[in-house]
Amino acid sequence: MNKSIVQKKGDLESLKKYISSNPYIDMLEQPKICKKFNIPYSISIFRAIYRQRFYNFLLDNTTTVATVSKVTKIPHKYLCEVKAYFEKKGLLKVLYLDRCPTTTSKNVQFISTNKEVWSDETLIPKANQLKLF
Protein backbone atom coordinates (compact mmCIF):
# COMPACT_ATOMS: atom_id res chain seq x y z
CA MET A 1 0.00 0.00 0.00
CA ASN A 2 1.15 3.51 -0.73
CA LYS A 3 2.56 5.21 2.38
CA SER A 4 0.51 8.37 1.79
CA ILE A 5 -2.71 6.31 1.62
CA VAL A 6 -1.83 4.61 4.91
CA GLN A 7 -1.04 8.00 6.45
CA LYS A 8 -4.33 9.49 5.26
CA LYS A 9 -6.23 6.52 6.69
CA GLY A 10 -4.45 7.05 10.00
CA ASP A 11 -5.25 10.76 9.91
CA LEU A 12 -8.91 9.99 9.20
CA GLU A 13 -9.10 7.55 12.11
CA SER A 14 -7.43 10.12 14.38
CA LEU A 15 -9.97 12.73 13.27
CA LYS A 16 -12.88 10.38 13.97
CA LYS A 17 -11.52 9.62 17.45
CA TYR A 18 -11.11 13.34 18.09
CA ILE A 19 -14.68 14.13 17.02
CA SER A 20 -16.07 11.21 19.02
CA SER A 21 -14.27 12.22 22.20
CA ASN A 22 -15.29 15.89 22.09
CA PRO A 23 -18.57 17.75 22.42
CA TYR A 24 -20.27 18.97 19.29
CA ILE A 25 -17.93 20.93 17.04
CA ASP A 26 -19.60 23.94 15.45
CA MET A 27 -19.93 23.76 11.67
CA LEU A 28 -17.71 26.82 11.23
CA GLU A 29 -14.94 25.08 13.17
CA GLN A 30 -15.23 21.71 11.41
CA PRO A 31 -13.09 22.64 8.35
CA LYS A 32 -10.35 23.96 10.66
CA ILE A 33 -10.34 20.72 12.64
CA CYS A 34 -10.08 18.67 9.44
CA LYS A 35 -7.16 20.79 8.30
CA LYS A 36 -5.31 20.06 11.57
CA PHE A 37 -5.62 16.34 10.75
CA ASN A 38 -4.57 16.82 7.10
CA ILE A 39 -8.00 15.71 5.89
CA PRO A 40 -10.10 17.61 3.33
CA TYR A 41 -13.29 18.87 4.96
CA SER A 42 -16.15 16.46 4.63
CA ILE A 43 -19.37 17.12 6.47
CA SER A 44 -20.24 13.42 6.19
CA ILE A 45 -17.56 12.50 8.75
CA PHE A 46 -19.09 14.78 11.37
CA ARG A 47 -22.65 13.87 10.37
CA ALA A 48 -22.04 10.15 10.80
CA ILE A 49 -20.52 10.58 14.25
CA TYR A 50 -23.23 12.93 15.50
CA ARG A 51 -25.99 10.72 14.13
CA GLN A 52 -24.44 7.74 15.90
CA ARG A 53 -24.14 9.73 19.15
CA PHE A 54 -27.85 10.63 18.94
CA TYR A 55 -28.85 7.05 18.10
CA ASN A 56 -26.77 5.54 20.92
CA PHE A 57 -28.10 8.01 23.47
CA LEU A 58 -31.66 7.00 22.58
CA LEU A 59 -30.83 3.31 22.91
CA ASP A 60 -30.46 3.86 26.64
CA ASN A 61 -32.83 6.80 27.16
CA THR A 62 -36.40 7.47 26.14
CA THR A 63 -36.64 11.24 26.06
CA THR A 64 -37.19 14.33 23.95
CA VAL A 65 -34.99 15.86 21.26
CA ALA A 66 -34.48 18.91 23.50
CA THR A 67 -33.11 16.72 26.28
CA VAL A 68 -30.79 14.86 23.90
CA SER A 69 -29.55 18.25 22.68
CA LYS A 70 -28.96 19.46 26.24
CA VAL A 71 -26.98 16.36 27.20
CA THR A 72 -25.01 15.82 23.98
CA LYS A 73 -24.56 19.54 23.14
CA ILE A 74 -25.63 18.81 19.56
CA PRO A 75 -27.90 21.66 18.35
CA HIS A 76 -31.60 20.99 18.71
CA LYS A 77 -32.41 22.07 15.15
CA TYR A 78 -29.86 19.62 13.75
CA LEU A 79 -31.18 16.80 15.93
CA CYS A 80 -34.68 17.38 14.55
CA GLU A 81 -33.24 16.57 11.11
CA VAL A 82 -31.45 13.52 12.53
CA LYS A 83 -34.70 12.38 14.19
CA ALA A 84 -36.50 12.56 10.83
CA TYR A 85 -33.65 10.62 9.19
CA PHE A 86 -33.91 7.74 11.67
CA GLU A 87 -37.72 7.78 11.63
CA LYS A 88 -37.76 7.36 7.84
CA LYS A 89 -35.37 4.41 8.18
CA GLY A 90 -37.62 2.81 10.81
CA LEU A 91 -34.87 3.05 13.44
CA LEU A 92 -36.59 5.52 15.77
CA LYS A 93 -40.09 5.62 17.15
CA VAL A 94 -42.18 8.20 18.98
CA LEU A 95 -43.46 6.35 22.05
CA TYR A 96 -45.71 8.93 23.66
CA LEU A 97 -46.36 12.62 24.24
CA ASP A 98 -45.74 14.27 27.60
CA ARG A 99 -44.17 17.33 29.24
CA CYS A 100 -40.54 17.85 28.17
CA PRO A 101 -38.17 17.70 31.15
CA THR A 102 -35.90 20.26 29.48
CA THR A 103 -38.29 22.88 28.07
CA THR A 104 -41.37 22.03 30.22
CA SER A 105 -43.48 22.27 27.06
CA LYS A 106 -46.56 20.06 26.93
CA ASN A 107 -47.31 17.33 24.39
CA VAL A 108 -43.70 16.81 23.35
CA GLN A 109 -42.62 13.60 21.62
CA PHE A 110 -40.65 11.10 23.69
CA ILE A 111 -38.54 9.03 21.34
CA SER A 112 -36.37 5.92 21.42
CA THR A 113 -34.14 3.94 19.09
CA ASN A 114 -34.34 0.87 21.33
CA LYS A 115 -36.79 -1.52 19.64
CA GLU A 116 -37.05 -3.54 22.86
CA VAL A 117 -38.97 -0.69 24.53
CA TRP A 118 -41.17 0.26 21.60
CA SER A 119 -44.00 -1.94 22.81
CA ASP A 120 -43.28 -1.64 26.54
CA GLU A 121 -46.51 -0.12 27.85
CA THR A 122 -44.98 0.51 31.28
CA LEU A 123 -43.01 3.39 29.73
CA ILE A 124 -46.15 5.17 28.59
CA PRO A 125 -47.59 7.54 31.23
CA LYS A 126 -51.05 6.62 32.42
CA ALA A 127 -53.71 8.88 30.97
CA ASN A 128 -55.70 10.90 33.47
CA GLN A 129 -58.98 10.15 31.74
CA LEU A 130 -60.99 10.37 34.94
CA LYS A 131 -60.08 14.04 35.21
CA LEU A 132 -61.88 14.71 31.95
CA PHE A 133 -65.29 13.90 33.39
CATH code assigned at 76: 1.10.10.10
Whole-number Å distance between alpha carbons of 79 and 64: 10
Q: Do residues 92 and 112 lie in contact, with contact meaning Cβ atoms separated by under 8 Å?
A: yes
- Cα–Cα separations (whole angstroms), residue 63 to 14, 15, 94: 31, 30, 9
Confirm whether 100 is domain-assigned.
yes
**103 occurs within a structural domain:** yes
Residue 123: inside a domain, yes or no? no
pTM of the model: 0.83
Rounded Cα gap, residues 27 and 40, in angstroms:
14
Residue range(s) defining the domain that contains residue 29: 3-117
Q: What is the mean pLDDT of residues 106-131?
A: 76
The answer to whether residue 124 sits within a structural domain is: no
CA 68, chain centre distance (Å):
7
Q: What is the pLDDT of residues 27-72, one digit of tens each?
A: 999 999 999 999 999 999 999 999 999 999 999 999 999 999 999 9
- Total number of domains constituting the chain: 1
Q: What is the pLDDT of residues 12-22, one digit of tens each?
A: 999 999 999 99
The CA-based dihedral angle spanning residues 69, 73, 78, 83, taken in that order and rounded to the nearest 10 degrees: -40
